[in-house]
Structure formats: structure tokens, C-alpha cells
Structure 1
Amino acid sequence: MTNEPITKDGRRRILEALMYLHDATSAEGPASREEAEILSGVMTMLAFSGIDVARRVRAGADLDPAAARVLDEFEEHITRAASLSQQFLGLVQHADPS
């Protein structure tokens, strides 16, 4: 993982996946496996994008101990969110389709 800004292509992919989920969501029946995989992918992309943002702004926050603590906590939570998203994807991919 680098500290480079989120690319336009990365933002486009996140937006497209979110729009697909919005279009595919309905009140009828459970989500399809494909929808669950897309949701997990979007959540993982968002989490890693959040980690990158936190790392990029850290230089300015290092001047303020309170801001640095908040960034540390944010990075910890967003890293956990990425891990949970990947675990969820693993469960979806190994679920019994019947």
C-alpha cells in the first residue's frame, strides 16, 4: 500500500460498484451472491482508501497530538473494517449455494 492519492479510476470503480448495488437492491428476497461479493469489494476499497487518506494527512496532524490520536484511532478502525470486509467475502465465496 502506498501513500499516493486515490486515483480517478479508483474513485470511478467505487462509484460504479455503489451505483450497481443501489440499482440491484430491492425489498424482495435476500441479496444475491454477486451483490454480496460486490458489497464486500466496495467496503474493502473504501477501507483501503480511508487508510491511504489517513496516512497522507498524518504529516499535518503530527503537529497536533489530539489530531494524531484521532487519526490513529480512525486508521485502527478502518483497518479492522477492511479485514472484516475480506472475511465477509471469504464467507460469501465459500457459502453453500443451495
Structure 2
Amino acid sequence: MRSVVISLQEKLNERDDLLLSLQQQENLDYKQRLDIEMKISIYKETLETLGFSEDSYNDDSNMSIAISCLLVNIGLMSLFTCITFQVDIKNLNILRFRFNWRV
């Protein structure tokens, strides 16, 4: 299991890079294509479950929604990932984002 500490914007960029590589590489075999599509799907579902969208990931209201969703949906998400946030409670800003893959 690999642990990577990154910002949310970097995670969105990584997902977009995977999508771009999928679209540009026609010579991927079926298994490679499925693997990339699965990773993209997990990124998107995890961020959406936490209440984030690509255009409003730094909005204060979404931060509080994300914290609530994290507490409510921890059982569901633990099937795929272990997610930890360091949160600045006063300003509701996510300082760091830890993402551990379990699949």
C-alpha cells in the first residue's frame, strides 16, 4: 500500500492526466484501459462523495459538507481507500490530503 500526501488540486490534476493518457493512447490493451478507467472513477466518486466538485473544491460550504460526508460515509469509503484530512477548523480549509490505495 502506497501513501501519498497531496493537495486536492493535485489529485484532480492527476485524475485528469490519467484521462488524457487514456484518450491519447490507442495501443493500450483492454486490461490497461480498464485499470486507468477504474482509477479515474475512484478519484471522481471519492471527491464527489466528500462534497467536492472540480470548480468549487475550495469553497467554504463544500469544506463543511466534506467533513460531514467523511464522518457519515467512512464505512463505504474504507472499501476502496483510507482518506485523512488535516483541517484548519477556524477557516474550514483543507491543509493536506492523505490518500492510501487499498485496491
**What is the TM-score of this pair, normalised by structure 1?**
0.41
Which structure's residues are more often strand, by fraction?
2
User: Which of the pair has more CA radius of gyration?
Assistant: 1
TM-score (norm 2): 0.39
